[in-house]
Structures are given as structure tokens and as C-alpha cells.
Amino acid sequence: MSTENEKFINPLTDFGFKKLFGSEPNKNLLIDFLNEILPEQHKIRDLTYAKNEHAGQQVIDRTAIFDIYCKGKNGESFIVEIQKAKQNYFKDRSVFYSSFPIQEQAKKGDWNYQLKPVYTVGILDFKFDEHKNDQDIVHLVELKDQNCEVFFDKLKFIYIELPKFQKSEEELESHFDKWLFVFTHLSKLQDRPKKLQEKIFQQLFEAAEIANLPKEDREAYEESLKHYMDIKNVVDTSRLEGIQEGFDKRNLEIAKNMKSEGESVEKIKKYTGLSKDEIEKL
């Protein structure tokens, strides 16, 4: 996978995401982005990166490996992940992962069970099936009671559906818009857009420039980009096959109905594209 036509790394690749948001020199990029989606009372002033691999309490327990795991100055935990394709039980996995920073707060001896907040942030390169027709890009999920009032405010899941963001550079309004534009367009740009002239984006574009990467990082990025494109190709192929399958099923239903109404084979062929043999077998 060649990067000769690209000037900036793709932030949705594993390498690109961790380079821009998971390294100590660039942690203010992560802070700035997270503060756009966190509630006011949990805005971050500073954070530290923690190990991203967590083993369960028992030997047989599974291990969770986060893309980025960090701690806020007041003890809050933040799991930040890029999800490149739909996955069975993705929401279950999010909840399971959130249990690790909860369990690690347990203290031996006399402990009153007071917990620090835990946030899971998912940056999704796909749409939820159940939300694909609504306009909400960001989903904030909390534990609520039967009256839809927050029951426990220290566990939150924030999901961002990137494919729903369709604004052009001229349409960018908020600081959050600009971050979404970065995630969806960075690798396609050749220069920093006029709308992204803030100091934080100057740092981001400098860190993202492929020409500034040492040779080993460039090789690691190319491998990561290849993996990303492989996933995208599989997803796109599956989607197109799904569309074709649905199209074929619909044509079969139309042909059956037309045949039951006594329409001629030639007319059915014209309206459905099915062959004479396929129609006669119905």
C-alpha cells in the first residue's frame, strides 16, 4: 500500500489514531477532542496514559486491549476506541470493556465502593443499523430509571457515527465540526484548510504529515493502512452483495406477482430482468 499521493496520515488506521491521540507529545490533541463531547463537570484539564491491556481477575478471564486508555486528573477513566467495521455484539463488547476500569478501582480491606467516572468513547466508521435513518451523529448513553432520569452518572458511553457527517469545509461551524472533518478528510487533504487555523489543528497537521515520520514509522503506517483498506474492501463488498441480494429478491417477488396476474413472460422479463427459464421455474 503506497502513501506517495498522501500528505497526511489517516487517523482511522491503528497507527494513525495512536500516533495522533495516543502519544504523550500529542495528548493535548486528545484532551481538546474529548472536551468537545464530555459534559461540563467532567471536562479534562490533564490526563495520563495508562497501560491499554487489562487482564481479568482470574486466569481464565478474557483480556481487554483498548486502543487508548487514559486517566483524568481527578481519577476518571477514559477508554477511546476506533471501530472500523460493524461487529457482532459491539455494544456488548463496549459494556464488557467498561467493566475493567470499574473493577480496577476495587481496594483491599475496608472500602466503601465509591467509584470514579468511567467513559467509553467509540469513534465509529459505520452507522448503527437501528439508527441509520436518524440524524444524530453522537449518541450519549447513560443508566436511567423508568422515568428516564439518570440513575447513575458515573458510567457513560459516547458513540460517534462518522459516516453521518457530510459537511464540507465551507459548512463547518463548531469546533466539534472541525474535529469530525479531520477524522473524515485528513488523509485526503494536501494542505491545512482555512477553517482549521487554530493552534491545536496546526499541531495536528504537523504531527500527521507523512514526510515528518521516521522510516520505521512510515513502514508501520503503510502496514496499518493496508490492514485498514483490507477491512474497508471486505465491508464494501459485503454491502454491495447485500444490495444485489435484496434487489434480486425484490425482482423475484415482482415476477411472481406478475405471473399470478397472467402477465406474459416477455413483459415480466422487461420489468424484472429475469430470464425466461427463471420465470418459468417460479
Q: Which of 213, 230, 252 is the last residue of a domain?
A: 213
| Same-domain check for residues 145 and 34 | yes
Q: Is the pLDDT of residue 180 over 90?
A: yes
**How many separate domains does the chain show?**
2
**Are residues 222 and 173 part of one domain?**
no
Task: Determine the residue type at 278.
Answer: E
Which residue intervals of 190-264 are DSSP H helices? 199-208, 215-260
* Final residue of a structural domain among 155, 189, 213: 213
- Indicate if 63 and 168 belong to the same structural domain: yes
Can you tell me which residue has the cell 489517516?
Answer: 10
Spatial distance between the Cα atoms of 11 and 21, rounded to a whole number of angstroms: 9
Residue 3 located in a structural domain: no
| Cα angle 188-140-238, degrees, rounded to a multiple of 5 | 50
| 56 within domain boundaries | yes
Same domain assignment for residues 123 and 251 = no
Contacts of 46 by beta carbon, 8 Å cutoff, 6+ apart: 31, 72, 73
pLDDT at 275: 75
Residues 207, 218 within the same domain:
no
Q: Indicate if 220 and 177 belong to the same structural domain.
A: no
Mean pLDDT of 216-236: 84
Indicate the SS3 state at residue 269: helix
DSSP codes of every residue in 75-122: S-EEEEEEE-S--TTHHHHHHHHHHHHHHTT--SSS-------EEEEE
| Confidence at residue 66, expressed as pLDDT on a 0 to 100 scale | 85
Same domain, 267 and 167: no
pLDDT at residue 45 above 90?
Answer: no
Judge whether 186 and 208 are in contact, CB under 8 Å: yes
Query: What does the alpha-carbon distance between residue 138 and residue 140 come to, in Å, rounded to a whole number?
Result: 7
Model pTM above 0.85:
no
Residue 178 maps to a domain: yes
- The angle at the Cα of 196, spanning 193 to 198, to the nearest 5 degrees, equals 140
Where among 165, 193, 213 does a domain terminate? 213
CB 20 within 8 A of CB 207: yes
Residue 106 lies in a domain: yes
pLDDT reading at 62 higher than 60:
no
Shared domain for 91 and 39, answered yes or no, is yes
Please tell me whether residues 57 and 112 are part of one structural domain: yes
pLDDT digits (tens, 9 = 90+) for 8-34: 999 999 999 999 999 899 999 999 999
DSSP-based three-state secondary structure for 191: coil
> Domain for residue 259, yes or no?
yes
Residue 139 identity: H
Q: What is the pLDDT of residue 236?
A: 62
Same domain, residue pair 205 and 221: no
> Which residues of 4-149 form beta strands (DSSP E)?
47-49, 53-55, 63-65, 68-72, 77-83, 118-124, 138-144
Residue 150 domain boundaries:
14-213
* Nearest by Cα to 204 from 4, 33, 2, 3: 33
What are the two backbone dihedrals, phi and then psi, of residue 154, each rounded to the nearest 5 degrees?
-105, 5
62 lies in some domain: yes
Question: What pLDDT sits at residue 258?
Answer: 78
91 alpha-carbon distance from chain centroid? 12
Same domain, 249 and 207: no
Q: Which pLDDT value is given to residue 63?
A: 65
* Contact assessment for residue 123 and residue 116, using Cβ atoms and an 8 Å cutoff: no
71 located within any domain: yes
87 within some domain: yes
Mean of the pLDDT values across residues 61-67?
72
Please state, in angstroms and rounded to a whole number, the distance separating the CA atoms of residues 90 and 82: 12
Instruction: For residues 198 and 223, state if they share a domain.
Output: no
